[in-house]
Amino acid sequence: MNATMRSAQSGVSLIELMVSMTILMLGLALGLPSFSLWLQSAQVRTAAESIQTGLHAARTEAVRRNAVVRFSLTESNGQVAWTVGCATATTDCPAEIQKRLAAEGTPNARVGASVAAVASPAPANAYGTALAAGAALPAGVSFDGMGRVPAANVGADITRVDVINAANASARRLVVTINAFGLIRMCDPAVALSANPVGCS
């Protein structure tokens, strides 16, 4: 065997490594804004689902206990925090049944509320303008033993909650509506209802 023979070497050169790294960095730079927007929109969705869950919990507890149970958005700055509790506390119906603290995730999600009546079906572009973060807050809505908003509360209780992202205005916005019959619906104001059932109007 010839001692001067060398075994074959394989690998990448420094230039090939630099080209590969440049392509990878370009791909990341192009994809990062989309990923960031997706994350911010996901925070909005998580917050909206949390509010919808709280509303359903209040309505369910009202029917189960045959008592007036209230869902309240508690933060005046629009952070997503809510409580569910009996309007008149008793030993069988506590003032606090369930709650969500502002510190429980979705740091950039913000909410605003309205007590204006929700038309059904809503006219085109009824939800075109977002409610400002903290609008009409703190506020809430009560449900009676039939799962409806008590007649005395209609016009005073919230009928609409907008969930926006404080860090990115381009992020998806979602709307949660509550009508006088206690029906709760989450919709996307950017989508036409005639084209997609997730649309608002």
pLDDT value of residue 15: 82
Instruction: Kindly indicate the confidence band of residue 5, based on its pLDDT and cuts at 50, 70 and 90.
Output: low
pLDDT digits over 73-111, tens only? 999 999 999 999 999 998 888 999 999 998 887 889 999
DSSP of 103-155, one letter per residue? TSS-TTEEEEEE-SPPPSSPPTTTT-SPPPTTTT-SEEEEE-TTSS--GGGTT
What is the percentage of the chain residues whose pLDDT exceeds 70? Answer: 92
Residue 55: its pLDDT value, please? 97
Alpha-carbon distance 185 to 55, whole Å?
10
Q: Which residues contact 156 (CB under 8 A, 6 or more apart)?
A: 115
- For range 102-124, the mean pLDDT: 85
Choice among 101-110, 120-129, 175-184 with the minimum mean pLDDT: 120-129
The yes-or-no verdict on residue 50 having pLDDT over 70 is yes
* Identity of the residue numbered 145: G
Residue 124: pLDDT band by 50, 70, 90 thresholds? confident
Cα–Cα nearest to 162, from 80, 90, 87, 103: 80
**What pLDDT does 94 receive?**
94
Residue 85: its H or E element: strand 82-86
Backbone φ, ψ for residue 15 (5° rounding): -65, -45
Q: Helix, strand, or coil here: 48?
A: helix
- Cα 46 from Cα 102, distance rounded (Å): 13
